[in-house]
Amino acid sequence: MTSFKAPKGTYDLIPPRSADYLAVREALSAPLRRAGYGYTETPGFEQVELFARGVGESTDIVTKEMYTLTTKGGDELALRPEGTASVLRAALEASLHKSGNLPVKLWYSGSYYRYERPQKGRYRHFSQVGAEAIGAEDPSLDAELVILAHDAYRSLGLRDFRILLNSLGDKECRPVYRAALQEFLRRLDLDEDTRRRVEINPLRVLDDKRESVQRQLTDVPMMRDHLCEACKSYHEQVRELLTSAGVSYEDDPRLVRGLDYYTRTTFEFVHDGLGSQSAVGGGGRYDGLSEMIGGPALPSVGWALGVDRTVLALRAEGIELELPAATDVFAVPIGDEARRALFRVVTELRRDGVAADFAYGGKGMKNAMKSADRSGARFALLAGERDLAQGVAQLKDLHSGEQTAVPLDRVVAEVAGKLR
């Protein structure tokens, strides 16, 4: 046993637990691939300024939670705390927005890092699947992304999640609301840090989870009462499209999310079985982010879904995923000649798409069969000197116990037929 451990607030994924995470990533991304989203991958670290501008200098992510480092050349870098800014940066750098085929639809999956107080469902290293539709202002895109996330969760069997929906307005009506909100917040009994936030980004105060703050917000002005006609119409179209697709949602006028770049549509997926860390995913429209990081005006919308919290949600509902067998056939050779013969057969099985494993290390029959049982294999393939003399191997069904002799050159076809 090593004296080293995974850093505080992180975790290792190892079998069999890791199989659930792979299945969740596949389920969350499958609807995106069917909807024309192409895979993209960005570095695990970026320039600090990218997140300071995009995510927002007043957010907890930038002020308290980013892991930063200085390179030998003096560059200030940060481990990525979220995916949107990185993906948009990559799309701009590759000039994807100049292709003439907008929106650019991208999806991604990877690890992200935030220096947070570790607790169940909140880690310093976490995994997400995300999607971004870049370069189009269309309520159909907003609705599409909500529906794709909804359908991904449903495909996993999840039922006890809710969708919260809000509009944060745009550059026309947000300033009016901002002024009204600041006027209200300045009258409250707030600590010095929160008062500074009121002046920088007052909407973030609505997201403050402290009871001492929340009880003072009973009569706080709401964005919905300050939306311009264009934003009202846009939001109503999103709501109508969701309803027509059979997707239920709850209007939440206080939903602001934790990032500064959101405009208009904002949404969150929550699961009440997770306690305080109930958000399993969320996103929204960010029409001004491209300009914030030095690009052209590119209205865009996207989301990120937490793989870790989705797994916790599955457990909260008692859902066991149906996972493909790690091993279909486990080969048990008896003797060196059988070892060489069955190794060839195992290689052929794998090349034919059958999951096959082998009794390595010269194990005796008893220990090798225990390994076969532990592997979860459907069949054991056995051979000794007498079998080889007859040109056969014994194919044993580990579920029924039935065993039949199969010609060595027919094993692959026989196994494939039985698996079908």
pLDDT band at 260 (very low <50, low <70, confident <90, very high): low
Q: In whole angstroms, what separates CA 351 from the centre of its chain?
A: 31
DSSP state at residue 378: S
Residue 29 has pLDDT above 60, yes or no: yes
E strands, 192-313, where?
A: 250-251, 263-271, 279-285, 300-306
Phi, psi for 246 (deg, rounded to 5): 75, 25
Rounded to 5°, angle at Cα 33 from 32 and 34: 90
Contact assessment for residue 117 and residue 124, using Cβ atoms and an 8 Å cutoff: no
CA 134/CA 343 separation, integer angstroms: 50
pLDDT band at 59 (very low <50, low <70, confident <90, very high): low
E strands, 26-124, where?
A: 38-39, 45-47, 68-70, 76-79, 104-113
Known binding-site residues for L-histidine equal 82-84, 114, 128, 132, 257, 261-262
162: helix, strand or coil: strand
Q: Which are the contacts of 304, defined by CB distance < 8 A and separation ≥ 6? A: 82, 83, 84, 128, 129, 130, 281, 282, 283
Neighbours of 361 (CB within 10 A): 8
Residue 262 has pLDDT above 90, yes or no: no
Residue 58 has pLDDT above 80, yes or no: no
Q: What is the pLDDT of residues 377-392, one digit of tens each?
A: 999 999 999 999 999 9
Higher pLDDT, 10 or 239: 239
Q: What is the pLDDT of residue 90?
A: 97
Residue 57 has pLDDT above 70, yes or no: no
Phi, psi for 295 (deg, rounded to 5): -100, -175
Q: What is the pLDDT of residues 158-170, one digit of tens each?
A: 999 999 999 999 9
Contact assessment for residue 129 and residue 107, using Cβ atoms and an 8 Å cutoff: yes
CA 293 to each of CA 88, 299, 403: distance values in angstroms, whole numbers, following the listed order: 9, 13, 66
Q: What is the pLDDT of residue 418?
A: 87
| Average of per-residue pLDDT values in the chain | 91
Known binding-site residues equal 82-84, 114, 128, 132, 257, 261-262
- The whole-number average pLDDT for the span 54-62 is 66
Q: What is the pLDDT of residues 66-81, one digit of tens each?
A: 899 999 999 999 999 9
Q: What is the pLDDT of residue 60?
A: 66
- Nearest residue to 214 (alpha-carbon basis) of 180, 183, 175, 188: 188
DSSP state at residue 141: H
- Nearest residue to 166 (alpha-carbon basis) of 232, 259, 74: 232
Higher pLDDT, 56 or 41: 41
For 47-51, 123-127, 196-200, 335-339, which range has the lowest pLDDT when averaged over its residues?
A: 196-200
Q: What is the pLDDT of residue 100?
A: 84
Task: Report helix angle 17-34 to 139-155, nearest 10.
Answer: 150
Rounded to 5°, angle at Cα 397 from 393 and 398: 120
232: helix, strand or coil: helix
> What domains can you pick out in the chain, each with its CATH number?
17-173+227-316 (3.30.930.10), 329-419 (3.40.50.800)
CA 122/CA 10 separation, integer angstroms: 10
Looking at 108-257, list the stretches that DSSP marks H as alpha helix, in order from N- to C-terminal side: 139-155, 174-185, 192-200, 203-206, 211-214, 229-244
**Of 87-96, 205-214, 287-296, which has the strongest mean pLDDT?**
87-96
Q: Report the percent of the chain where pLDDT is more than 70.
A: 97
